[in-house]
Amino acid sequence: MNPKLDLLYRLADDQLILGHRNSEWNGLGPILEEDIAFSSMAQDKLGHSLQLYMLLHELGEAEPDTVAFTRNTPQFHCCQLTELPIGEYDFSLMRHFLFDHAELLRFEALADSSYEPLALVARKVKGELKYHVLHANTWVKRLGTATEEAIERMQAALEFTLPYALGIFETTEAEPEIISSGLFIGEVELQRRWEASISKVLAQTSLVLPDLRLLTPVTGGRHGQHTEHLQPLLDEMAEVFRLDPTADW
Amino acid sequence: MLFSLDPRISRLELPDSALPPPDKAALDQFPTYEVFHQRKENTAYVYVGPVHAPEADVAFLFGKEQFSRRFPCTGMWVVLTSAIKVTEYGDDQQSVYDRLPLLPADEIGTADASGLESYDIFHLKKRGKAHAHVGQVSAASPEAALQAAKASFGDQRPVVNVWVVRSADLLRSDDDDRDMWTTTPDKKYREAISYKVQDRIDRFKQEG
Amino acid sequence: MYGSASTHDIPNQATTGLENEDPILLAEFEAHIARGEKIEPTDWMPQLYRKQLTRMIEQHAHSEIIGSLPEGTWITRAPGFRRKMAQMAKVQDEVGHAQLLYSAAETLGKTREQMLSDLINGKSKYSNVFNYPTPTWADSNVISWLIDAGAIVNQMANAKGSYGPYCRALDRICAEEAFHLKYGHDAVVHLATGTPIQRRMMQEALNRWWPAIMTFFGPSDKMSTHTEILMRWKVKMATNDACRQQFLDMYVPKIWEIGLTLPDANLHKNEDGVWEFSEPDWEDFKRVINGDGPCNAERIAVRRAAEENGAWVRRAMQQPQARYVRPLA
C-alpha cells in the first residue's frame, strides 16, 4: 500500500475505534465530572479521525462517512488495543494512559512530517493531546498510589493491557518507505520514546512495569486481523447508517 | 439480566432485581472546588461554578471540561471551597465594604513584611451575576486582607459580596497550557450556528 | 432538559408555614425579590422557599442525568461523523447540566450524596418523559428537538426566577441548549425530508412521543395559596398551561411545515389564538410517574450501576483530611 495511505489508515482507524469505545462511558462514568471529561476526549478522538479520513479523501479515498461506516473487519487497520470492550474503569483508564502517551509522542513527531497536510493536523491537535495525557497521568498517579484495592486493580489492568499496547507499534511493509520519505520517525523509535514516557509516570506510583522484552506483543491489527470484538462494534456503529448508506442522515 | 434497547446497557449485564442500595457515605462525591476562568487574554478571571473533586489537580481536569469545553478560554484557576473567605451579601446598590468592622491596627498586621502573604480578591457586582477577580493584596490574615482590599478596591461600587483567597491556595493553569484550549472554537459540531437547515426546508416545501 | 413533574411540584399541606417565620426577615426577603434582586445562598430565606427550590432544582438535575439515557441509547449508533460527534456532545451536555444543577441545589443545604442516594432509591422524581423508550434513531431525534424545546421554554422562564445559583446555572444551560435545539431540528428535518424509510421512521417516532410531549409541562395548575406565594417569590415563573401554549405556538408550525402530522385530530389554534387539543391521559401519566412506566426500572438500575461500578474509583481517591462545605454560589 502507498505509504501515506498505510500510515493514515492506521492513525485514523485507531482514533475512530477508541473514540467510539470511550463514548460508551458517556453517562455511566464513576463521577459526573469525570464522565464529562472522558466524553470530551472521546469526541476529540472522533474529531482527529475525521481530519485524517479527510486527508485520505483528498488522496482519492472515499468520503469519511463511507470509509468509517461501511468497511468491515479485514479492512480496518487499528491496533487490537482500541477495539477491546470498555471493561471496568481500571482497564479503560489504563488503555487511555498507554494509548495517549503513544499518541501524543506520535503527533509531536508528525508535526515535522514531510507530508505537510498531516504535519498541519498534528500541530493543531497537540494541545488537545496534552490535556489527554495530563488527564491520564493524573488518574494513573492518583489511583496508582491510592488504596490497596486501586493499586491491585491498576496493576492487573497494566499487565493485561501491555501486550495489546505493544501492538500499537506493529509495523507494515510500508514502514521503510514511511521512514525514508520523512513521513514519520517510525514505530521502533516511537516505541522507544513511549517506554521512556510511561516509565517516568509509573515510577511515581506503586505500580510495577513488567519487563517489556518478556512480553509477546498482540499484533495483527495493522494487517486487518482483529479480535472477535471488532465486527460487532462495526455492525453496531453502522446499524442506522447502513439502513441506507446513500441517504442523508 | 436486564435487556436494554441501549446495547451499552445490555453489555453491563445488570441483575434483574436488587435490594435497594444503602445511602451514600459522606464525601462519596468529594469536597468541592470553585472554578474561575478567563475568556480572553488580559481580562479578569470570572467565577464559573464548583466541581466535586478529591484534589486540586483533579479539580482542574474536571473544571476544564465542565466549564470551558463550550466557550473560549485562555486560563483557569481552581480553589478548595473551604479555603475561600466570604463576606455577607449586601443589596445591589451598596458596598459590603461599608459594613466591615474596623480591625485594631495590630490585627491588620505590622509593617513587617515577613508575615505577609498575598491574597486574591473577587467582587460580586450584582446579585445573580458571577464574582470577578479585582486584584491582589498583601496581608497577614484573611481578615486583614479584606481590610486591605477595602483600601485598594473599596471605591468600586456596588460591591454585593467579596471573596478572599490566599493566593497560594489557587491552582492556576500555566501560560504554557493555553494550547489546551486552542481548538475549542474549531469544534463546530457542538455549536448551534453550524446547523443550518432552512434551505432544506424551503426545498422540501417547493417540491411538496 | 426538564419538564414539570408538576403533580409533585406544589406541596399539598394545608399551611404554608409562613406564620412561623420572622416577619421582619420575611419582609426584607420579599423586598429583595420585589426590587428584582436575586437571593443568594447565605441570605435568610423562608423554609417553604428553601424546601420548594431544593425539590425543584433537584428534580431538574435528576431529569438531566436520567435524560441522558434515552439519547445515550443511540450514542454508539448515530449515523455518520457529524451526528456521532454531536450526539456525544449532547449527551455529555446533559450530564454537565446535571452537575451544574446538583451544585445549585447543594447551596441550599442538601448534599449531592443525598440527592444521588434519593434518586437511585426511587425516592425522587424526574421528568416523566424519560420513562419512555427510544426504539429508533428517530425517537432520539424527537427528544433532541422537541423535548429540549419544551425544556428551553421552562428554563428560559425559570432563569428569570429569584434564586441566584439556579439562575447562574440556567444561563449556562440555556446557552448550551441552543445547540441541542438546532441539532435536534436539523436531524428531524433530514429524516422528515429524506427517503421513504427515513420519513416513516420519523413519523412513527413522533406519533409515539406526542402523548408524552403533551404531558411534559404537567396538568393545568390548580391555583392554591402555595402557588400564589411561589409565584410571588419567583420560584414558579409560569403556569404549566402558559408553557404548553408557548411550546405549541412555537413548534407545531415547524412540525407541520416539514410534512409531519400529529396524532391528535383535535389539535388546532382557535379564533382566540389559543391552542386546543385532546386532554392527555393524566391517569396514565400518574401511573408512569409513580413507577409503572416502560423504562422506570431500567433508568434507575442504570444510574445505580454507574454509581456502584464507580464506587471503588471514588473510594480510592478519597483524601482523609477532606471536609465538606456547601459550594458557595
Q: Which domain holds residue C117?
A: 18-317
* Domains of chain A: residue spans and CATH: 3-243 (1.20.1260.10)
- Whether the CA torsion C251, C137, B204, A68 is positive or negative: it is positive
| pLDDT of amino acid C221 | 86
Burial class (CB in 10 A: 0-12, 13-18, 19+), A203: exposed
A247 contacts in C (CB within 8 Å)?
Answer: 194-195, 197-198
Measured between CA atoms, the residue of chain A closest to residue B56 is A138
Predicted ipTM of the assembly = 0.97
Report whether pLDDT(C7) > 50. no
| pLDDT of amino acid C6 | 43
Q: What are A37-82's pLDDT values in tens digits?
A: 999 999 999 999 999 999 999 999 999 999 999 999 999 999 999 9
| C212-222: average pLDDT | 93
Question: What is the number of structural domains in chain C?
Answer: 1
Q: What are B147-189's pLDDT values in tens digits?
A: 999 999 999 989 999 999 999 999 999 999 999 999 999 999 9
Q: In this complex, which of B51, B53, B180 lies closest to A130 when CB atoms are compared?
A: B180
Is C2 part of a structural domain of the chain?
A: no
Percent of chain C predicted with pLDDT > 70: 96
Report whether pLDDT(C241) > 90. yes
* Residue B61 to residue A142, Cβ atoms within 8 A: no
Q: How far apart are CA C52 and CA C34, in angstroms?
A: 19
Is C11 part of a structural domain of the chain?
A: no
Is C262 part of a structural domain of the chain?
A: yes
Is C1 part of a structural domain of the chain?
A: no
The answer to whether the beta carbons of residues B52 and B32 sit under 8 Å apart is yes
Q: What are C261-312's pLDDT values in tens digits?
A: 999 999 999 999 999 999 999 999 999 999 999 999 999 999 999 999 999 9
Is C176 part of a structural domain of the chain?
A: yes
A176 Cα to chain B: minimum distance (Å): 33
Is C7 part of a structural domain of the chain?
A: no
| pLDDT of amino acid B17 | 73
| pLDDT of amino acid A189 | 98
* Residue B182 to residue A236, Cβ atoms within 8 A: no
Q: How many CA atoms lie within 13 A of C299 on its CB side?
A: 31
Q: What are B95-129's pLDDT values in tens digits?
A: 999 998 877 666 555 556 678 999 999 999 999 99
- How large is the angle between the packed helices C240-256 and C148-158, nearest 10 degrees? 140
CA–CA distances in Å: residue B203 to residues B24, B86, B149, B197, C194: 55, 58, 62, 10, 12
Q: What is the CATH number of the domain that holds C70?
A: 1.20.1260.10
Grid cell of C242 as nine digits: 402558559
B53 contacts in A (CB within 8 Å)?
Answer: 33
* Residue B128 to residue C38, Cβ atoms within 8 A: yes
Angle at C313 between CA C309 and CA C319, to 5 degrees: 145
Say if C325 is an interface residue toward chain B (CB within 8 Å). Answer: yes
What distance lies between CA A5 and its chain's CA centroid? 17
| pLDDT of amino acid C9 | 54
Residues in chain A: 249
Q: What are B11-38's pLDDT values in tens digits?
A: 999 987 778 899 999 999 999 999 999 9
Q: What are A203-214's pLDDT values in tens digits?
A: 999 999 999 999
| Interface B:C, Cβ pairs < 8 A | 189
